[in-house]
Amino acid sequence: MTATDKTGEPGRDFIHDIIAADLEAGRVSTVVTRFPPEPNGYLHIGHAKSICLNFGTALEFGGRCHLRFDDTNPTKEEQEYIDAIKRDVRWLGFDWGEHLYHASDYFQQLYDWAEHLIRAGKAYVDDTPAEEMRALRGTLTEPGRNSRFRDRPVEENLDLFRRMRAGEFPNGARVLRAKIDMASGNINLRDPVLYRILHAPHPRTGTAWCIYPTYDFAHGQSDAIEGVTHSLCTLEFEDHRPLYDWLIENLPVPARPRQYEFARLALNYTVLSKRFLTALVREGRVAGWDDPRMPTFAGLRRRGVPPAALRDFVRRVGVARANSVVDLAMFDHAVRDHLNRVALRRMAVLRPLRVVIENYPEGETEELDAVNNPEDPAAGTRRIRFGRELYVEREDFMENPPRKFYRLTPGREVRLRYAYLVTCREAVKNAAGEVVELRCTYDPATRGGNAPDGRKVHATIHWVAAASSLATEVRLYNPLFTRPDPGADGDLMADLNPNSLEILRECRLEPALAEAAVGEAVQFERQGYFCPDPDSAPGRLVFNRTIALRDSWAKAQAAGG
């Protein structure tokens, strides 16, 4: 396993306390956990919590974590998902080494244990149709009633179960049930189904089986087979723990794993349910599972979120048993915090406004030094080209600015980053009255950005030289939903943010950006963190905005206006 983060303390939570106590008391010698996804969909940010908890905790205690696919329902699972999940777990930074398993690896053992239960008189084959079985199960407040097949002789159960396995019966004809207690207040103990008939080919076992164990019959036993010591799952499985324990106690399993539950991760302005995510893709509301607006690993990766930032985010959130909804700002912070330290700085003008430096010699250019990352001196410097014609950001000029706007306006001097102090002399307008060009003058004595006479300017703005700049497309992303609890009113699609994607096609980048690799994070100075999208082609770069820089000016404007 990898992915130790130097930054930040390891998580301290009740799971750690339990494990530490188990180690201390000698109840376990090596900690073994597992991340057990069902291969029926793509991983999303919610899974990151489970992955980090399972892999991270094992790592911290010097144990190991298995990657185990819970592939007990061939009607919903696909190899494609298995591959995607493996890729995504690796991307997050974890390695299961030799410990890749599948519940389907244990189908024969599980089957044998089912027969063991039958022989012990603790499981029976039930012919009751599904509808009727549901009615017999009772309700939340009324006890269930025994099936009329509940007291079948062991030999008959064995014979029927073997014939189920042999494929003699159609789907749904019979099931194998544990014989526990139809009157239990815990519905999971009302003779839960252990095996069902499913004539469906399995991604891994093919047509070898036509009966498949349920989650309850597979999970705990798989844990036991693998020697998992701490089986960590989410809160909704809490009611299953008595069944988990019952099976472990009534089967000759080689170990005694323990299940512990924690609250799953939820984020505001975000939807994580498989059903909703699937609907977004299927209805074309997003471009696909890897749309940068999606909370999937694929989406986050394409958007440029570094795995280390995701791990840090999960660490900050913590692990507890209270249902909670984490503020997206927490995620944003983790992303910015990481990117600030590692991203190279570059200049890029998203909405260009042409600038002509009137007193700069025609046809001449020069090179200036620019720092690659002020947070990391080792990143060095680069040369950037300056010339008579430049582009600056449209919003860095205002003809009639409000108080406290200290960027370009007629008559004002500002600094062009790493270049010169320039003064705006005139705004040239078109017939429609729109500003189309700025006429400025520069002070040749301020090369690099400092005035020999010590005079100060209020603002430093970014720019690119018109002649050498690269034309590019930039995609800006905003939250996919307009409300913190999308879908709460019953119509998820009505809460979609119409401005979740903004495409800018006339952007101008400094030439150094031509070398950026897909997924590589860079900071466009004063704007945010970006990375080239896979849609980029030679000569036609496309950048995604991972996240904007904090902008107290914009915030103040929004608050004041």
Report the catalytic residues. Answer: 38, 264, 274
Binding span for RNA by CB under 7 A among 54-62, 224-232, 329-337, 467-475: 329-337
List 3, 255, 356, 549, residue binding RNA (CB under 7 A): 549
Contact of 35 with 178, CB cutoff 8 Å: no
CA atoms within 13 A of residue 516's CA, in its CB half-sphere: 32
Candidates 156-164, 330-338, 358-366, 531-539; binding stretch for RNA (CB under 7 A): 330-338
Which lies closer to RNA via its Cβ, residue 301 or residue 415? 415
SS3 386: strand
The answer for residues whose C-beta is within 8 angstroms of residue 386's C-beta and 6 or more apart is 365, 366, 367, 368, 416, 419, 420, 465
Residue 380 binds to RNA (criterion: CB under 7 A):
no
Residue 243: CB minimum distance to RNA, A: 10
Report if residue 245 touches RNA, rule: CB under 7 A. Answer: no
**Binds RNA (CB under 7 A): choice among 42, 61, 101, 237:** 237
DSSP 405-449: --SB-TT-EEEETTS-EEEEEEEEE-TTS-EEEEEEEE-GGGTTS
Which pairing describes strands 100-102 and 64-69: parallel, antiparallel, or unpaired?
parallel
User: Interface with RNA by CB under 7 A: which range of 70-78, 288-296, 378-386, 503-511?
Assistant: 70-78
Give just the sign of the alpha carbon dihedral 546, 549, 554, 559.
positive
**DSSP per residue, 90-137:** HHHT---TT-EEEGGGGHHHHHHHHHHHHHTTSEEEE---HHHHHHHT
The reply on whether position 377 binds RNA by CB under 7 A is no
What does the radius of gyration of the chain's CA atoms come to, in whole angstroms? 31
Distance CA 386, CA 467 (A): 9
Binders of RNA: how many residues, by CB under 7 A? 92
Angle at 242 between CA 15 and CA 274, to 5 degrees: 70
Binding mask 408-447 for RNA (x = CB under 7 A): -------x-xx-----------------------------
| Segment near RNA (CB under 7 A); pick from 131-139, 468-476, 496-504, 530-538 | 131-139
> Which residue from 163, 404, 429, 505 is in contact with RNA, where contact means CB under 7 A?
404
Asked if 266 and 272 count as a contact pair (C-beta separation under 8 A), the reply is yes
Q: Judged by CB under 7 A, which stretch of 6-14, 109-117, 224-232, 303-311 contacts RNA?
A: 6-14
Shortest distance (Å) from residue 274 CB to RNA: 9
Ranges within 471-530 binding RNA (CB under 7 A): 523, 525-526
- According to CB under 7 A, which one of 6, 25, 98, 139 is a site residue for RNA? 139
Q: Does 163 bind RNA (CB under 7 A)?
A: no
Q: Does 367 bind RNA (CB under 7 A)?
A: no
Instruction: For the CB of residue 153, give the shortest distance to RNA in the complex, in Å.
Output: 21
Report the distance separating Cα 519 and Cα 67, nearest Å: 26
DSSP letters spanning 231-300: EEEEGGGGGGHHHHHHHHHHS--S---EEEEEPPP-BTT----HHHHHHHHHTTSSSSTT-TTS-BHHHH
Closest to RNA by CB, 73 vs 229, is 73
Whichever of 68 and 475 has its CB closer to RNA, that residue is: 68
Fill in the amino acid letter for 299.
G
According to CB under 7 A, which one of 167, 254, 448, 534 is a site residue for RNA? 448
Question: Which of 5, 22, 23, 38 touches RNA by CB under 7 A?
Answer: 38
Q: What does the chain come to in residues?
A: 561
Euclidean distance between CA atoms 293 and 121, whole angstroms: 53
Window 268-307: residues binding RNA (CB under 7 A)? none
Q: Out of 238, 366, 389, 535, name the contact with RNA by CB under 7 A.
A: 238
Binding residue for RNA, selected from 345, 388, 508, 545, defined by CB under 7 A: 345
Nearer to RNA, 147 or 286 (CB): 147
Task: Return the residue of 10, 201, 449, 519 that touches RNA, per CB under 7 A.
Answer: 449
Residues 21, 83, 119, 129: which binds RNA (CB under 7 A)? 129
The piece of 151-159, 432-440, 531-539, 544-552 that touches RNA (CB under 7 A) is 544-552
SS3 86: helix
Task: State the Cα–Cα distance between residues 528 and 526, nearest whole angstrom.
Answer: 6
Among 109, 128, 146, 468, binds RNA (CB under 7 A): 128
Distance CA 10, CA 53 (A): 10
Comparing CB distances to RNA, the nearer of 450 and 482 is: 450
Contacts for 426-435: CB closer than 8 Å, 24+ residues apart: 427/397, 427/399, 435/353, 435/397, 435/399
Minimum CB distance to RNA smaller for 203 or for 318: 318
Indicate the DSSP class of residue 189. Answer: G
Q: Please identify, among the stretches 13-21, 80-88, 151-159, 468-476, the one whose residues bind RNA according to the rule CB under 7 A.
A: 13-21
One symbol per residue from 185 to 204: x for binding RNA (CB under 7 A), - otherwise; what is it?
xxxx---xx--xxx------
Residue from 375, 399, 491, 506 binding RNA (CB under 7 A): 375
Residue closer to RNA (CB basis): 275 or 284: 275
Please report how close the Cβ of residue 336 comes to RNA at its closest, in angstroms: 6
Give me the least distance between CB of 252 and RNA, in Å please.
23
Comparison of 93 and 192: residue with beta carbon closer to RNA = 192
3-class DSSP state of 368: strand
Kindly state whether residue 141 participates in binding RNA, applying the rule CB under 7 A.
Answer: yes
User: Looking at residue 182, what DSSP letter applies?
Assistant: T
Q: Considering only CA atoms, which of 312, 283, 285 is closest in space to residue 299?
A: 285
- Whole-angstrom Cα distance, residue 77 to residue 200? 11
∠ CA 87-90-95, rounded to 5°: 130
Considering only the stretches 22-30, 145-153, 230-238, 291-299, report the one whose residues sit in contact with RNA under the rule CB under 7 A: 230-238
